Structure formats: structure tokens, C-alpha cells
Structure 1
């Protein structure tokens, strides 16, 4: 017999996983990791430049040819960071699906779906940390130096840290939080209250 089990802890885990994924996706797409003069800014693989003649802001991608783009245009460190964030996001979006599926079945191949997914989320967080470490390593790239003046690895020069980088940090923190929440979520589905509801014949079990 199938049971649908929803507890406050499983719901918190699912929402945290979804929120962290959406925040990190926003960070990846944001061109505002470093803020330069005027409205000029640059992200992991996108940038925004203010046209002097028209005073209009034009945002484009650095990866004009994908990972084959010249390193002078799209620094190698940022290419790797983009790949790492993309891998992390893929893991996290799969984990969100798994967190919804965990309402109906709690194990896969005789292993807890919660703890298995939580371990995968930890791996995603590690990929994010690697990406966040790689990004400032390329702050001595030609295009960054032009934007920030006197910038160097881990030193932004005259640039300010933008919203995109703060979002990436927040998304990384929430990813590890989601991984930690998977353990209490697992315990909540095996609590005595849940077992009592099952013995009473309930197939839909909702607990605070």
C-alpha cells in the first residue's frame, strides 16, 4: 500500500532545496558579480556595458562560442566555474524532484531516499564552493582589469561586489542547509506518530 507522508520537516527540506536552486540559478544568470564604473558589470559568463554614444546598457554573454571561447574573452577559470555551477544546479533540481517523490516512498534500493539525496546536495554545495573560489582567481584577466582598475586575484580593485556574487554565496549556504535538513526530514517520516497513523489505516498523513 502506498502512503503519502508530509511533515513540517519534509516540507522545510523541499522548500529549502527549491529556494537554494532558484537563488543559484539567478546568480549564474546575473551579470552583476562585479560592479564597475557607471552601470558596467560582469558576472560568471555574462556582462553589461554602457554604450558611451547612446548611454544605453547592453548585456551580452562572454561565452560567444561556449567553452571554446578564447580565454582572453571568457577566462578559463570562469569556464570551469560555469560548468561546476551547472553540475551543482543539475544535482539540486534532481534533488527537488526526489524530495517531492519522498512523500510517497522513503527508500530507494533499500537506502533512505532522504539521506541519499542529502549526500548529493552536499556534493552540489562542494561544486558551488569550487566555483566561488575559481571566480576571483580570474580577477587579473584583461577585461576585469579594464573594468575594475588594478584588480588582481581575490582583489576586486575599484569594483564593488555585486548582487550576483551575494546570491551565489546565499545559494551555497542554503544548499548545505538543505543537505542538513534531509536528516531530520528522514526521522520525521519514521516517527511514532506516523506509524500510528499508518496502523489506523490512513494513506494520507500530514503532521506538523
Structure 2
């Protein structure tokens, strides 16, 4: 017989995992890791959007925004060749960061589905789904952490030095500033490890006496704070 069990702890676990997954996606696809100074724009002027908001050149793991003479302010990914792109255009460290960030995103997305599965099943193949999900979340957090470490190692690239100044080097962005994408990555790591810890509490909450009594009474949907 199938039961659906939802507790406040399991709900927090799901939301924490979901938010972490969304933050990884934001860090992966947005170009706001390094934001260049306004002086690096064409003609020394700062282009603005129609609403008057300031636009500055920026770069991410696989996307960038820059001022182009004919196309104006343009955002997009580096090259269609991706990992085959020359290291002077797309540094090797960023290629590795892209791989680990993508791997972390896939793993974390799978754990989002697993958190929903635990509402109906507590084990699979003789193993606790909560424990397996926690291990996957820890692994996901480690891979995203590796990506966060690898990206600054590529700051010696010519692309970064043109954006931030010739003084740019690993872990020193020179005239650039850290953008929202970088902080989304950091926050996703914290939430991922927090979710892994909450999973253990979520398992015990699903096995509480109050839950068992409701199940034994014939309730197929159990929701307990």
C-alpha cells in the first residue's frame, strides 16, 4: 500500500535542495562572475539600457557580455566549439569549472526528485533513500566547490586581463568586481551541505511514532508539522 508522508522537516529539506539547485543553475548560465569597470567600455562611456540602468562588461563560466562596435551591447556564450575552443579564448580552468558545475547541477537536480520520492518510499534496493540522497548532495556540493575554485585560476587569461587590467591573476581580479553569479555559487554550496544534514533529520521525522500511528490507522496521506 502506498502512503504519502509529509513533515515540516522533509518540506524544509525539499525547499533547501530546490533553492540550491536553482542557484547552481543561475551561477552556471549567467555572465556575472566578474564585472569589469566602466572605463573598459568602448569610448570610455557606459552604455545604458532603455530604462537608464548601467551596463558593464562581464564574464561567467561559459557566457560573457561585452560592447561590440556593430552589435552594441551583446551577451552570449563564448564559442560554439565549447571545450575545443583555444585556451586563450576559453581557459582550460573554465572548461573544467564548466564540467564540474554542470555535474553538480545534474546531481543536485536528481536529489530534488529524490526528496519527493521519500514522501512515498523510505528505502530502495535495501538502502535508505535519505542516506543515498545525502551522499549525492555532499558530492554535488564538492563538485560545485571545485568549480568555484577553478574559475579564479583562469583569471590570468588574456580575456580577463583585457577586462580587468593586466594585473589580473589567479584570485586577484584587479579592477574587476565579483558579480551576483559568483555569490549564487557560494550560497548554493552552503545550502547543498545544509540539505545533506537536514536529510538525516527528515528520515527520523518520517519514522516518528505519530507518523506510524496515522499509517496504522489507515491514513494514506499523513501531514505532520
TM-score band by shorter chain is: over 0.9
User: Which secondary structure state, in structure 2, belongs to the residue aligned with residue 178 of structure 1?
Assistant: helix
> Could you tell me how far 1:37 is from its partner in structure 2?
2.3
- Whether 2:111 is the aligned partner of 1:95: answer yes
> Could you tell me how far 1:126 is from its partner in structure 2?
0.2
Q: Which runs of 5+ in 2 are unaligned?
A: 39-55
TM-score by length of 2: 0.89
Structure-2 separation of matches of 1:17 and 1:104: 18
Structure-1 separation of matches of 2:184 and 2:168: 22
> Could you tell me how far 1:53 is from its partner in structure 2?
6.2
Match in the other structure for 2:127? 111
- Choose the corresponding residue for 1:194, options 211, 214, 222: 211
> Could you tell me how far 1:52 is from its partner in structure 2?
4.8
Structure-2 separation of matches of 1:165 and 1:65: 24
Structure-2 separation of matches of 1:132 and 1:7: 34
Structure-1 separation of matches of 2:201 and 2:19: 18
- Whether 2:48 is the aligned partner of 1:31: answer no
Give runs of ≥4 in structure 1 deviating > 6 Å: none
Matches within 5 A, 1:60-79: 60-79=76-95
Report how many residues are paired. 207
Structure-2 separation of matches of 1:203 and 1:53: 63
**Structure 2 CA distance for partners of 1:168 and 1:63, relative to 1, 3 Å:** farther
Match in the other structure for 1:155? 172
- Whether 2:195 is the aligned partner of 1:178: answer yes
- Whether 2:155 is the aligned partner of 1:139: answer yes
Structure 1 residues 50-88: Cα deviation after superposition (integer angstroms, max 9, x where no partner)? 23567x310121243021111111100000100001111
Match in the other structure for 1:22? 22
Structure-2 separation of matches of 1:63 and 1:191: 54
Structure-2 separation of matches of 1:170 and 1:205: 32
More displaced, 124-133 or 42-51? 42-51
Structure 1 residues 81-136: Cα deviation after superposition (integer angstroms, max 9, x where no partner)? 00001111111111111111110011011111011101100000000110000000
Q: Which runs of 5+ in 1 are unaligned?
A: none
**Structure 2 CA distance for partners of 1:71 and 1:117, relative to 1, 3 Å:** same
